[in-house]
Amino acid sequence: MRRDRITQIVALSIALVSMTIGGTMLPTIIKDAEQSTLRYSNNAVEGAPDWVNTLGMSIGALRGLMVDYLWIKINRMKDAGLFYEVMADAELITKLQPRFSQVWVFHAHNMAYNISVATNTLEERWEWVNAGIRLLREKGLVANPDDMVLHKELSFFFGHKIDGNSDDAHMYYKRLLADEWNTLLGTPPQSWDGRTEAMKAISDAPRTLEDAKLQEPLVSNLIDRITEDLGAYRGQGESPIGFGLLEDIAQHNAISQYSMVAKTLGLEQALRSKSPYYNAFEAIVSDPAYEKAWPILLKHLRNKILREEYNMDPDLMYEYTRDLGPLDWRHPQTHALYWARRGAKVGKGRHDSNDIFKTLNTDRMQLHALQSLARTGRISFDPFSNEVPGRFPDPRFIDAIIGDDQREGLWDELYKKHYFVRGAGSDTFTSFLKNFLGSAVREWYRQGELDRAQALLDHLDQYFGSGASPPNNSYTIPLDVWVKNKTQGEYDRQPLLAVSDVAASLRYAFRAGVAQKRPELYRDALKFAKQVTDFFKANDFNNYTTKFGTGRIKDIIGALEDSAQLSFQQVMTDSMIPMEERIVIWAGIDALEQGLRPRVYDRIMPVIQDQYLQHPMSQNTPISLAFPEPPGLEAWRKKLAQERAAKEGLTGDREVTGTMKRQ
């Protein structure tokens, strides 16, 4: 009996000591597991999807062995090129260990990069790229809302796969992304304040239909009308108040207001004569009884879809638009910026000094996204055109990076954040600043903003020239010489810079050459555009054709050849250019360039009309006198229709895409 008692006491002592030691080690173990995102879903996690909480608790300790086995297996299959075979096992790991961020990245990358390039059509390729994006955005980040790595990888997909030009189908990706977000959020206002206000309205929108009805009781009547009049045209189980309604609104606005293709092809008249659905929808849209109800319903719907289907926060979208620049969500780099900045925010403090590179890479992506927006951030998009969205420089993002007298730029914020990081933490941002300021000097110069260009060149000299240690005279040469030297070789390394340079130069030509009656400036800009176009036509890579029959350099040539028309269109609708100046440009362009006005008239007039009605001049001068219709417009419309039909391989009437096909 005494022996048994001693055994019990010893066992109890060992248990107590073990529990004490285990208890002291547990916080460290949990911290390491959390930082490595290796915690299993043993317990129900608030806000996590059901499959995380159910499967994670069902098979006990065997999860670890199973995950290890599957992880080794899929890596070996990937090395063997068995990309499709990897899918099922990778998905199983995400269910067994949803906090394992590397497998989410592996799975999404396999879809967007490996499987997509093995497909044979543009549509298939986009489906796989989009599937990889949605996997990270709508599943990986739901299970791991604070994981910086997943945010960074999602940002990379938008910035590299869609906005880059390494994929043969990148032009197709850009068009589909622009179409998707033009539908979801509508065509954004031109001004920064306008875009901020529009995003603020969505951010503040009612979260539920009940709240929307309380705010405006006629919303209830509007929903009933949509359900009753349009329900028969919708598919079985399709909600009348969902993304399909936004598609209808976006297409109706394009057809009735700003689509030059729709105007050229007479789609509005054709639909009114052939489509009962279009007539029923138009009757609801134009009913004055719902004038106040429509905006509230649409803002609620956009807020709901962003949160529930895209896992995006309208509050952050508003905040970033307010603080970082006139973000256009039809641009891939806007999404790259959003996910990188959000990842840096929610992942703050989750990585120690050994993992600081994760934070550095995420913050670098913020800067690179803003840099790309400065070069191509202005979007011109017609949802009925098969062409790639027009992309123009937007210098407003230059100030967002380097700051101005009123606020600190993003570069200052991140430089200070990483100044004391071991290694080359701050140096990486210094190198970025040097390259970015050099590009900004060139972009301001091309737009004729010589004082601003010289001011930035002086900054470069202060930081990296005469103010450097040891000092040098690299930046003390004349501005035009410096820009010429800077440009040499740039177009070989970064071909898309040529498009932004030509667009900036032509913008200056219209504002100075036409508005200020200096035709020599206009001729110089056209000469520069022709020189750049000829350079690419003679490029050794001009004969490269992708598997989809498109030419990577030929796409750039096409953009350059259309640059005068696109730049003219952008200048005429730019609310930052005084209305009086645009009237002078409109009246004077025919003396220098015939055919520009009729080519853009149908596309730009709805925008100009809205802007003109808000201008005091409209009280005394009708728009028909300020922006008169070009001579022979009807003949031009027929000519443009023939050109488009020949270019796109169309014969006869073009069928309307999307939900407007309902008869």
In the chain, what percentage of residues exceed pLDDT 90?
Answer: 32
The pLDDT of residue 506: 84
pTM of the model: 0.77
pLDDT-derived band of residue 547, with 50, 70 and 90 as boundaries? low
Separation CA 54–CA 49 (nearest Å): 9
Residue 184 CA to residue 291 CA, distance in Å, equals 20
Q: Cβ(167)–Cβ(122) under 8 Å? A: no
pLDDT tens, position by position, 33-59 = 555 545 444 344 444 445 444 555 555
Judge whether residue 521 has pLDDT over 90: no
pLDDT at 198: 96
Determine contact, residues 104/140, Cβ cutoff 8 Å: yes
Instruction: Name the band, by pLDDT with cuts 50, 70 and 90, for residue 481.
Output: confident
Q: What is the pLDDT of residues 431-478, one digit of tens each?
A: 888 888 888 888 888 877 888 889 889 989 988 998 888 889 888 899
User: pLDDT (tens digit, 9 = 90+) per residue, 576-631?
Assistant: 788 888 999 999 999 888 889 998 898 888 889 888 888 888 888 899 999 999 99
3-state secondary structure 454-498: HHHHHHHHHHHCCCCCCCCCCCCCCHHHHHHHHHCCHHHHCCHHH
pLDDT tens for residues 154-171? 999 999 999 988 888 888
Q: With contact defined as beta carbons under 8 Å apart, do 429 and 368 qualify?
A: no
What's the DSSP call for residue 380?
E
Per DSSP bridges, beta strands 378-380 and 390-392 are: antiparallel
User: What is the pLDDT confidence band of residue 25, given thresholds at 50, 70 and 90?
Assistant: low
**In whole angstroms, what is the distance from residue 62 CA to residue 77 CA?**
23
Length of the chain: 663
Tell me what percent of the residues of the chain surpass a pLDDT of 70. 83
Q: Where are the domains of the chain?
A: 1-35, 54-144, 490-630
Residues 449 and 440: beta-carbon distance below 8 Å: no
More confident residue, 501 or 249: 249
Residue 431 to residues 161, 485, 491, Cα–Cα distance (Å): 24, 19, 20
8 A C-beta contact, residue 68 and residue 102: no
Strand intervals (E) in 300-452: 378-380, 390-392
Residue type, 346: V
